């Protein structure tokens, strides 16, 4: 189980919540995740949610590692999250660069 905390829509075509909300969602096995959607699921992603209950983190806002979902809390669909652990070396490198102070030239760094 994972805890998701966010503001945002509480259902498909619903307005965003004014309050910070939370929901406990189970993590799906990778094959169930892949088979639940026509979208590409990579090893940098994982799915969470209930297939038969309308509880979800939904979409529209990126908060933490929430990535995307299909039809907010829809039956048969999971929420998709970025697998943060796959990006830790890059995050640590960027944090070290930031601690070294600003560079003279502005450049963008692509994530792995």
- Domains along the sequence of the chain with CATH: 2-95 (2.40.10.10)
Radius of gyration of the chain (CA): 16
68 CB-contact burial (10 Å; exposed 0-12 / middle 13-18 / buried 19+): middle
Intervals of the chain under pLDDT 70 = 6-12, 54-65, 101-112
pLDDT of residue 61: 40
pLDDT of residue 34: 94
């Amino acid at each position: 189980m994972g805890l998701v905390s966010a503001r945002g829509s509480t259902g498909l075509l619903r307005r965003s919540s004014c309050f910070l909300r939370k929901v406990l969602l189970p993590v799906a096995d990778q094959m169930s995740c892949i088979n639940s959607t026509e979208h590409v699921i990579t090893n940098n992603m994982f799915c969470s949610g209930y297939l038969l209950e309308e509880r979800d983190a939904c979409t529209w806002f990126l908060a933490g590692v929430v990535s995307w979902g299909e039809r907010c809390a829809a039956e048969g669909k999971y929420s998709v999250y970025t697998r943060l652990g796959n990006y830790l070396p890059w995050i640590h490198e960027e944090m070290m660069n930031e601690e070294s102070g600003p560079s003279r030239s502005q450049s963008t760094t692509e994530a792995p």
